[in-house]
Structures are given as C-alpha cells and as structure tokens.
Amino acid sequence: MKILAIDTSSAICSVALLENDKLIDKNEINDGKTHSENLMPLLDELLKRNSCDIKNIDMLACCTGPGSFTGIRIGVATIKPIAEILNIKIASVTSLETLAKNVEKIEDSESIVSLIDARNNQVYCGIFDNNYNKKEEYFADDINVIINDIKKYEKIICVGNGALLHKELLNKELNYVKFVENNNQTAENVGKIGYKKFLEDNLYTADTLVPIYLRKSQAERMKNK
C-alpha cells in the first residue's frame, strides 16, 4: 500500500511517501515561506523523483492539528480534493501523535507526553502509552495545570517544542521525566501513524475530514475580548 502523507501543522512543511509503514522518500523545508507556496512543489518533486503517479497512491495521511491554524487549514484544504478525485480514504493524524512517534524506546511503565507550545504559557498536550495509543483526551491549558495533571503518571518521557520551552519547570516539578532529542513534526511519522489507523479501520473521507484545533485562533480570541 502506497501512502502519501503531509504535515503543515508546524514551521516545517513536510511530505512523505511510504509503502505501508516503511518510508520510501520524503521532502521537508523550513525556509520562512508560507506552506501554501511550498506544499504543492514539494509534493510534485517527491512523486516525480520516485516515478510515482498520483493515481498509484492508495491512501492519504494528513496532520489535522493541533498547531498552526493557517498551516492546518492549508494541509486539510490540499488533501481533501486529492482524496475526492482519487476516491481514496484519509488517515487523520494529530501532531501530538506524530511527536509521540519520535520516542522509539519506551518501557511499559513509562508514558509519552507530547507538548506543543501554544504561546502565552499555554501548551497542547497528548499522553500516550508504549503503543502510541492516547491515555486520555487531548487538551490545551497553562503549563502549570498540565504539570499537575501529568503528575499522576509515574514515569514520563516528554517530547515537543513545548517540552523544550518548559524543560526547567518540568524537571523541577516531576519526580521522573526524560526528554528526547528529536522534537520535529514530520510527514514520515504522519504516514506511519496513518498506516496504524488503516489497520484499525479508522479512516476518513474527503467529506468527513476536519481539523483539530483545541483552542480558538488568536483572531477569534481577540474578537471575543
């Protein structure tokens, strides 16, 4: 099964081609341009480099958030028409799941905590077991509230730019916490988690795929004030 995966939820614009959960090739760029400028050229280059016709793609995988509001919209708006034209399913993968996948070695007693900076001391949080299944619903809150919530887990591995930003506080407040070196969100992991969702029969159509935000956009928050 050939899977085409994209991730535009962070500063990195990333696309990947996989055979089941094995990476074939990928394209990534973080040059300061908007993802709307980079995404389609990256996709075209990836497919041409691997002599892969878009019609030979069996499934799509898209990071649907949380993260950059604009980036998420670009990714979802790009993947939906491709799925509709090709009449294929889409795996909706969260950015918190892709970060958890960066943790390669984990003991049964440990929990993966994905933390993404949402600014103003706020973070998006996802908590996973060693099979990358979430232990509770995703949430967004002040880092101090997050820390109080994750204290119930005895051994924690933190990943993500939110973990890096609040590393000193996490080390101070938690009894047992480890950090990983790779904190990037990538389409490769979107594809790998997407294949897992295919095996679980947890896929979407172009009509049913929706973004995951957890928080209102800055513009909406300012309007409410």
Are residues 80 and 22 part of one domain? yes
Q: What is the structure's pLDDT at 20?
A: 98
Are residues 91 and 6 part of one domain? yes
Q: What is the structure's pLDDT at 117?
A: 97
C-alpha–C-alpha distance, residues 34 and 41, integer Å? 12
Which regions of the chain does DSSP assign to beta strands (E)? 2-7, 13-19, 22-29, 59-63, 90-93, 110-117, 122-128, 139-142, 155-159, 177-179
Are residues 123 and 85 part of one domain? no
* Cβ 76 vs Cβ 164: under 8 Å: no
C-alpha–C-alpha distance, residues 169 and 72, integer Å? 29
Low-confidence ranges of the chain (pLDDT < 70): 216-225
Q: What is the structure's pLDDT at 106?
A: 86
Are residues 192 and 88 part of one domain? yes
Which residue, of 142, 158, 179, is where some domain finishes?
Answer: 179
Long-range CB contacts (within 8 A, 24+) of 70-73? 70/34, 70/35, 71/8, 71/9, 71/10, 71/13, 71/35, 72/8, 72/9, 72/211, 72/212, 72/213, 73/211
* Cβ 123 vs Cβ 143: under 8 Å: yes
Question: What would the two tokens of residue 112 be?
Answer: 């993966």
Q: What is the structure's pLDDT at 105?
A: 83
Closest by CA position to 27, among listed 60, 4, 9: 4
Q: 117 has which bridge partners?
A: 123
| pLDDT tens, residue by residue, 205-221 | 999 999 999 875 444 43
Expressed as residue numbers, the domain containing 42 is 2-95+185-224
* Cβ 202 vs Cβ 54: under 8 Å: no
Are residues 39 and 66 part of one domain? yes
Are residues 119 and 63 part of one domain? no
Are residues 79 and 42 part of one domain? yes
Q: What is the structure's pLDDT at 108?
A: 85
Q: What is the structure's pLDDT at 216?
A: 58
Which residue, of 149, 164, 179, is where some domain finishes?
Answer: 179
Are residues 121 and 79 part of one domain? no
Number of structural domains (the chain) is 2
Q: What is the structure's pLDDT at 25?
A: 98
* Cβ 95 vs Cβ 89: under 8 Å: no
Q: What is the structure's pLDDT at 136?
A: 95
User: In this structure, what CATH number is given to the domain that contains residue 146?
Assistant: 3.30.420.40
Are residues 81 and 7 part of one domain? yes
Are residues 136 and 74 part of one domain? no
* Cβ 191 vs Cβ 101: under 8 Å: no
Are residues 60 and 6 part of one domain? yes
Are residues 116 and 86 part of one domain? no
Q: What is the structure's pLDDT at 220?
A: 43
